[in-house]
Chains A and B, each alone.
Chain A
Amino acid sequence: MSGMVEKRGVGTWLSHAGLILGIAVICFPIWIAFVASTVTQADLVRPPMPLLPGPHLVKNYLEALLSGGDAPVWRMLLNSLVMALGITIGKIVISILSAYAIVYFRFRFRMFFFWLIFMTLMLPVEVRIVPTYEVAANLGLLNSYTGLILPLIASATATFLFRQLFMTIPDELTEAARVDGAGPVRFFIDILLPMSRTNIAALFVILFIYGWNQYLWPLLITTDPSMNTVVMGIKQMLPTGDQTVEWPVIMATALLAMLPPVLVVFAMQRLFVKGLVESEK
């Protein structure tokens, strides 16, 4: 993409310097967190604050993973992973199926249901959190993966996205499949799903991060430390009262919590771009 705008000399240097400065400002806290996760508590609290990594990286991370705060971090990471994957896959499956129903089937109150789904956009978790908690508690879903995943699993946004995608698929393709003898299920599996894979990849990235970063809901629904997710777990590790606090371990946990979304973005980005390049309707 070189040479979209040919600019030489001072302007280029200035804009580069500005961008590098901006990136440095954004990355600095992460760097500090990383440095803090590689030194001892004693080194960390003694001024001046260290700016270069120390020798205790492995020790700190192992401590975080294996003992951590209320629960070992590996356990919380696992909980987060289950929750994030559950939400992501659940949302994609449910929304693609409901979009399929809304676009391709004529049933009574079709538009009513569509608007009903659409209206839930106005009701994010935070707004309905008290009644949702009530329902989840009555159903005995506290401290369970079901409780973590189920209330967050419906997605009007994803449904709407798939609906728009399906509406761009030409009718003739649907008709060709009918003439070829594909029933509704076959058409969905053989034609619609492969044609949606770009959107599925994009949604996977967005929804995984959404699921991973859930804070308020896991905080309410899990009381047992072994069901804590890592994002809320970090908060639980912070000192209350006169507890001593192991900042290097907390920082290690924070970095570990950052890692999976980054990995998902990197892994899916390639698929995503490839899908974009290859896509054709």
Chain B
Amino acid sequence: MADIKLEAIRKSYGRAEVIHGIDAEIADGEFIVIVGPSGCGKSTLLRMVAGLETITSGDIRIGGRVVNKLEPRERDIAMVFQNYALYPHMSVFDNMAYGLKIANVPKPEIAERVAEAARMLELEPYLDRKPRQLSGGQRQRVAMGRAIVRKPAVFLFDEPLSNLDAKLRVQMRLEIKALQRKLGITALYVTHDQVEAMTLADRMIVMNAGVAEQIGAPLEVYANPATLFVAGFIGSPPMNVIRQEIRPGRAALAPGAVIGVRPEHIDLVVPGAGLIDFDVGFCEPLGAETLVHGTTDAGDSLVVRIDGETPLPEAGTRIGLEIDPARILTFDPDGRRAGG
């Protein structure tokens, strides 16, 4: 168990810098999710913590110790890979035991630790099977088990759920969270799925183009995105961005600035009565809620989330949108929060 400190981490491939200086402090036992679109450098960052990529500059400390030059095995970490990376020729038991065997852990203790992990992950009936005889979810568990038996200081997850189907993903998500809580091991989890990030994270690091745009608790990030990118990336459907002047006198905007508002913070009113009007394009009734898509006169596409029992507005009708001014977030032309 350990805390992790990232100090001005940079990574370059040749001349191209892909990570432009990231600072983060991760407390012992914390579950941190690194989230961002593909190519933002989140996996690279994780792999630098793992020791699979060299660090161009900056320091990574695990438990206070600088690990920049250490091999993965010396860092006291365990990693779960996206495609599980199980050894195809080894049984489930051997897959989990391999790291311990190398570390010269006595055989009875290996058996005990693997048995314990297998019990925790409900893998006991499968210990003699080969990975190919298991379903995707079971393979995922074996990969988890391989990480658990090592009793590492840090868990590293590299998009571990993206090869599973949607239902299993939700289930495994809960299990990973519960397991991490129970073991109290610091976890660093990379994903591109913002729902995963929201549900798993104690705190999340939202990355974009090699920069940590915001670090914070999920709800804090959701409510108070630091940049337009974060506002658009976190939340589904994303935050609405309105570029045009809204009804004069209701909110002052600097030239070029934009406002952001969450779909659930907009109410439908009669045309002309709200801050802005829009033409309904189509509706997505999801049961509990309905998403109303439409465009403003200036061409901004907006989404409004309304209660599922409200009658659906017809496509093509014009509707006014009322927005609580307290819920409006203003962004500067460079995408940062105004006044922030």
Contacts and interface: CB of A to CB of B under 8 A. Distances in A.
B52 A180 contact: no
Given A170-B83, A181-B99, A190-B98, A175 B89 contact: no
B132 A280 contact: yes
A194 interface: yes
B82 to A, nearest CB: 7
A195 B131 CA distance: 13
B102 A186 contact: yes
A190 B98 CA distance: 9
Nearest to B47: A175
Contacts of B131: 280
Interface in A157-214: 170, 172-173, 175-182, 186, 190-191, 194-195
B73 interface: yes
A80 B86 CA distance: 42
A7 interface: no
A178 B52 contact: yes
A138 B74 CA distance: 51
A153 B295 CA distance: 74
B83 A179 contact: no
Nearest to B82: A172
A228 to B, nearest CB: 42
A150 B38 CA distance: 52
Nearest to B104: A181
A108 interface: no
Interface string B73-88: 1000111011101111
A179 B51 CA distance: 8
Contacts of A8: none
B208 to A, nearest CB: 25
B220 interface: no
Contacts of B78: 179
A128 interface: no
A281 interface: yes
Given A179-B50, A180-B99, A182-B102, A172 B88 contact: no
B102 A179 contact: no
A170 B84 CA distance: 11
Contacts of A181: 72-73, 99, 102-103
Interface in B178-221: none
A170 B103 contact: no
Nearest to A195: B89
A178 B87 contact: no
B71 interface: yes
B81 A281 contact: no
Contact of B81 (A176, A190, A195, A280): A176
Interface in A87-137: none
A180 B83 contact: no
Contacts of B98: 177, 180, 182, 190
Given A172-B81, A172-B82, A281-B88, A178 B132 contact: no
A177 B99 CA distance: 8
Contacts of B82: 172
Contacts of A180: 73, 98-99, 102, 146
A182 B94 CA distance: 14
Given A175-B52, A178-B71, A280 B88 contact: yes
Given A170-B85, A176-B146, 13 more contacts: A170-B83, A172-B83, A176-B87, A178-B52, A178-B73, A180-B98, A180-B102, A181-B72, A181-B102, A182-B98, A190-B87, A190-B98, A194-B89
Interface of B: 50-52, 71-73, 77-79, 81-83, 85-90, 98-99, 102-103, 131-132, 146
Interface of A: 170, 172-173, 175-182, 186, 190-191, 194-195, 280-281
Q: Which 9 A-B pairs have the closest CB atoms?
A: A181-B73, A180-B99, A176-B85, A172-B85, A194-B89, A181-B102, A172-B81, A179-B72, A280-B132
6 contacts: A173-B87, A175-B52, A175-B85, A178-B51, A180-B73, A280-B131
